Structure 1
Amino acid sequence: MTFRIILLIAFLAISCTAEKQEVQTPPNIIYILADDLGYGDLGCYGQEKIETPHIDALAASGMLFTQYYSGSPVCAPARAVLLTGQHSGRAQVRGNDEWGDRGDVWDYMAMLADSTLEGQRPIREGTTTLGTLLQGAGYTTAIVGKWGLGAPHTVGVPNKQGFDYFFGYNCQRQAHTLYPVHLWENDRRVYLDNDTVPPNTRLVEGADPYAEESYSDYFLSDYAPEEMFTRIQQFVKEETVHPFFLYWATPIPHVPLQAPVKWIDYYVEKFGEEEPYLGERSYFPARYPRATYAAMVSYLDEQVGQLVQQLKDQGIYDNTLIIFTSDNGPTFNGGTDSPWFNSGGPFREERGYGKGFLYEGGIRVPMIASWPAEIEKGTQSDHVSVFYDVMPTLAEIAGVAETYDSDGVSFLPTLLGEDQKEHEYLYWEFPSYGGQMAVRMGNWKAMRLNMQEEESEWQLFDLSSDLLETNDLAADHPEIIRKVEEIVSEAHVPASNPRWRFAALGEEP
């Protein structure tokens, strides 16, 4: 055998080994959580008014899920379910808890002066989170965006819950302006070049509501989503040694209605003249409320496109898993007009059926998974999955060796086109808006409202024929309701927080 042939064989062997090692390298993971984005707010889910070409392209590059659920219909509990892998029947956080016994936590100026008034009641020390699991598997972890699971100076801050880096809002209430005075970087405040304009500030007396200049106080210098995205780009650029997990919890499109002017102008030209929103349903006034909501979504879409391009430029796109979803369904306040946009898609989105409620419009959310090295492009899945499935899915992908406690079922087989284990049921409970429970088994969806009262009856819907949940079949199927009651007795653990207990179950507040 000649020396050249020996060299060729050696080269081929080395190349094959390198290729095999590249395939086996754990992927980078980016989980993008939009805020109050409805199932129907994206073009790839049927949106006709708002343009989302980059997120649509992300769907075309991977898999679009049609039956993916949040863990709760509002911010903090949804994020707690996502990060801990436990459904809301036993999760530490089951509702928004502003920890009001500290003082006047809703006073924006008081929070600026005293950081101990910021944030929500903390999750416990030693909680197993997506961050701690992936750190243990060798990942560098970061959260950029909105936290909401533990106030500053407590054990609940991101850096003590598995995240190497944090930048954004610690506190949900601070996120009621997208031009805040400060954000947090790890354990310190970062002050922005913005004046102090407390949330719910109305137009000055005598201002012309039809004049754009009357709204200038609500458009300041440093736009929080832009500041956050700059840190995301830096993190992705600099983290080259280890695989990374980035939890991008953007505050968009949660109200207030504030967006870059170029995008507002674009949609004003597209939609035409509209009536201003004067702040009567809280948050800030907006001269062009519909145009501004659309502008926020398209601005987020633009950022997603920039991030994907950065991954491609750095040569890491193919082996990066990107999951895009939303924390709950569309909202009803702050000047938004979800019915006009058909933000719920095939589900009801008006108040009482979207955000804050366990109807499909409140918890069925868009979900896109893109991983070019592994997921077949242009695919769609009807697999029924939920936020608490993310923990076992990412743990399996990352090769997590330690044991953990989760109610979820990994959907990695679905991503890879393999046989998938299905849930026996999905379970939710939510203590606000009267108190609610919901169970999904197959196409059956059972709901119970007014659980803060002693009398509360189950409703039953067949989702195969009634996506609007208008035809209550509970009286016709007592056997299904009995099964649902058995599930509740198995899944529900009385909440440690008295505010989250249910009188309908005989629990004392």
Structure 2
Amino acid sequence: MSRFLFASAVALSATLTSVACAAPAPKTATKTRPNIIFVLADDMGYADLACYGGKGVKTANIDRLASEGIRFTQFYVNSPICSPSRTAYTTGQYPARWNITSFIDNRGANRRRGMAQWLDLKAPTLARSLSNAGYTTGHFGKWHMGGGRDVGEAPLPTEYGFAESLTQFEGLGDRILPMISTDGDEPLTKMGLGVASEKLGRGKVTWVPRQQVTSAFVNRALTFIGEAEKSGKPFYLNLWPDDVHSPFDPPKSLRGDSTKRQLYRGVVTNMDVELAPLFDAIRNNPKLRDNTLVIFASDNGPEPGAGLAGTFRGNKGQIYEGGIREPLIVWGPGILPANRRGTVNKTAVVSAVDFLPSILKLAGVEAAPQGDGTDLSDTFKGQKTTGRTQPLFWKRPPDRAGNDDQTFPDLAVRDGNWKFLMQEDGTKPQLYNLANDEGENKNLAAAEPQTVQRLTKALLDWNKTLPVVKLTAETFNDLKSFNLKKGDRLDREQAPAVAKRGFNITAKFDVQKQAGVIVAQGGVGQGYTLFVDNDGKLNFAVRSGKNAITNLISPEPITGTHTVVAHLGADLLMSLKIDDKVVAQGQSKALLSSQPVDGLDVGSDADGAVGSYETPFRFAGNIDSVVIELEGILD
């Protein structure tokens, strides 16, 4: 955290304490109307926090919340990916009811997946209900329910019931946009999605080093709390940091060996440090401490290779437990009974759709009857230990059908201790007893035909209540030549359409003992990459399948300024030239069978690693130009 941001946070914390001591009691007593702060991490796995068994990561401030509050072990989000998960928290309804079934992307990608471009303003929202009941409301952090990429006309967060908002590139209105460091130091580079966001307008834009973005949100939240105290109104506050989402850019002191896992650990620890001024401001102000409930959770399971799901199967994007089981901590010294502080609730099944009715009940507001959630306010307050009794349902994101190793289930339900998964047509049933198999290792479908029949019907009946998703054919960039520079980022639809065709890469760059990626498109499933390895040798790798990779390597390390040509032909022949001299040749196992899921990066590999390196593997040297030329499609 920068000294300026830290000093600002400390000063604001002190101000809040002095206000509490000096200000007269508000006319409207708030004891029965608690303040509520909802902290939502991004892409955090179940087993990342130290208090949930995380190893090699320091999260002292969040762990302290758990040691003084209630930690839940059977908490579920309602989607394994960002936008729909946040929609469930916001509306108290399954997100597919609002045609938000995967992350909100650019306009074309949303349309192809049959998705809404943003959350319908007709949807019920927690903030709107609380605002109508006299709460002052604020949203500070990631939004991702509309606005960003190439969608500039989406509603602002303030149109959903928030009096104030400050978001980032996955939303509109006033925004904090991130600058990425070079191995923890300057120079800083504006993040590509931030550049696209800035072009959309509709709000004040402030660029901040990514390592300090959460501190900026915390500072704004502290100001909001101070103003709410002066007004005498109870407040509801979303603080939704995004630093645990890739690209991971912790301070240099937390980067370790700079592997993907270590960078992730670094951003988790850094987030914990940045959240401390908020927690301290509540803890050190008697009025706030006695009447504020802080809720900490995450939006979905971890990105593979970064966060950890513990013993659970699956990751982000999957409806196995690892994609949907998340940490949940509830803290409130003046609200929780003394005998419940520092306890672990291992029995209550709680889900994100339960937040809306539960928080509204805590605030004394009647919830609309059409929601999918259950009022668990007494469990949140520690007065009961019971959870929801109704089944929980999930639908897989339409763009997460599987990988080279397996096809992922389309639908899932948890009913009691039974967890049942299947395809949308009822095939490939998987049945697990979570009472003794939380890892979903032993499929009992063949041994429990009646349970399979009952839960198949329940899933099919539930699925019929959702809007019909109309998928359209994918369309990709039809350009045959791409002139790129360092820092460019093209998403899947904008990147070169490399499926079933050869291509040529011409790159001019200067290397002085720096390793890193020159250009990469794709990820662990398929793609290609041109990079300098840690031995200083130039590599050109084509991955035509998860375990099918051909890597050409220069015989000697390279230094200085060079023009490099990497070629994959329709005949599968590969070649690597340095300054017109062929230094390596080989044959790919196949052409890329489809457009890679991950996009294209120049100067790094931001998503899944195509080559034998740990992402993002940024290249610190100069890249003058990268030109990619496509050959004809092989029928």
TM superposition score normalised by structure 2: 0.60
Deviates more, 1:239-248 or 1:147-156: 147-156
Q: Deviations over 1:204-260 (max 9, x none)?
A: xxxxxxxxxxxxxxxx58843232222122212222121111111110211101122
The one-letter code sitting in structure 2 at the alignment partner of 1:263 is: L
- 2:324 match: 363
- Asked if 1:347 is matched to 2:312, the reply is yes
- 2:344 match: 380
- 1:81 match: 88
| Partner of residue 417 from structure 1, selected from 372, 383, 394 | 383
- 1:319 match: 291
- 2:129 match: 133
Query: Matched residues in 2 for 1:65 and 1:477: separation?
Result: 30
- 1:468 match: 439
The one-letter code sitting in structure 2 at the alignment partner of 1:61 is: E
Determine if contact 1:142/1:246 at 8 Å carries over to the other structure: yes
Determine if contact 2:104/2:118 at 8 Å carries over to the other structure: no
Instruction: Flag the 1:176–1:74 CA change in 2: closer, same or farther, 3 A.
Output: farther
| Partner of residue 273 from structure 2, selected from 298, 302, 308 | 302
Instruction: Flag the 1:423–1:187 CA change in 2: closer, same or farther, 3 A.
Output: farther
| Partner of residue 391 from structure 1, selected from 356, 373, 376 | 356
Query: Matched residues in 2 for 1:165 and 1:221: separation?
Result: 22
Identity fraction in percent: 30
Paired residue secondary structure (1:499): coil
Rg comparison, structure with higher value:
2
Determine if contact 2:36/2:292 at 8 Å carries over to the other structure: yes
Q: Deviations over 1:485-509 (max 9, x none)?
A: 2322442224354139xxxxxxxxx
Query: Matched residues in 2 for 1:303 and 1:317: separation?
Result: 19
Q: Deviations over 1:366-420 (max 9, x none)?
A: 0000111221311221200100000110010111136352111122122332374
Query: Matched residues in 1 for 2:104 and 2:202: separation?
Result: 23
Query: Matched residues in 2 for 1:422 and 1:296: separation?
Result: 33
| Partner of residue 28 from structure 1, selected from 26, 32, 35 | 35
- Asked if 1:42 is matched to 2:49, the reply is yes
Equivalent residue pairs, number: 411
How far apart are 1:176 and its partner, in Å? 8.8
Deviates more, 1:249-258 or 1:167-176: 167-176
Instruction: Flag the 1:347–1:420 CA change in 2: closer, same or farther, 3 A.
Output: closer
More helix by percentage: 1
Instruction: Flag the 1:67–1:399 CA change in 2: closer, same or farther, 3 A.
Output: same
More strand by percentage: 2
Instruction: Flag the 1:304–1:221 CA change in 2: closer, same or farther, 3 A.
Output: closer
Instruction: Flag the 1:250–1:463 CA change in 2: closer, same or farther, 3 A.
Output: same
The one-letter code sitting in structure 2 at the alignment partner of 1:323 is: I
Query: Matched residues in 2 for 1:172 and 1:289: separation?
Result: 27
Instruction: Flag the 1:478–1:103 CA change in 2: closer, same or farther, 3 A.
Output: closer
How far apart are 1:153 and its partner, in Å? 5.0
Query: Matched residues in 2 for 1:43 and 1:103: separation?
Result: 37
- 2:400 match: 433
- Asked if 1:328 is matched to 2:305, the reply is no
- 1:255 match: 246
Of structures 1 and 2, the one scoring higher in RCO (CA 8 A, sep 6+) is 1
Determine if contact 1:89/1:491 at 8 Å carries over to the other structure: no
Q: Deviations over 1:78-108 (max 9, x none)?
A: 0111111112453441222424339999xxx
How far apart are 1:309 and its partner, in Å? 0.7
Query: Matched residues in 2 for 1:246 and 1:191: separation?
Result: 21
Aligned residues: CA RMSD: 3.2
TM superposition score normalised by structure 1: 0.73
Paired residue secondary structure (1:169): coil
- Asked if 1:144 is matched to 2:140, the reply is yes
Query: Matched residues in 2 for 1:221 and 1:85: separation?
Result: 31
Q: Deviations over 1:463-492 (max 9, x none)?
A: 112121121111111111122123224422
Query: Matched residues in 1 for 2:87 and 2:306: separation?
Result: 28
Structure 2 residue runs of 5 or longer lacking an equivalent are 1-24, 181-189, 402-408, 473-635
Query: Matched residues in 2 for 1:456 and 1:304: separation?
Result: 45
Q: 4+ residue runs of structure 1 moved beyond 6 angstroms?
A: 102-105, 172-177
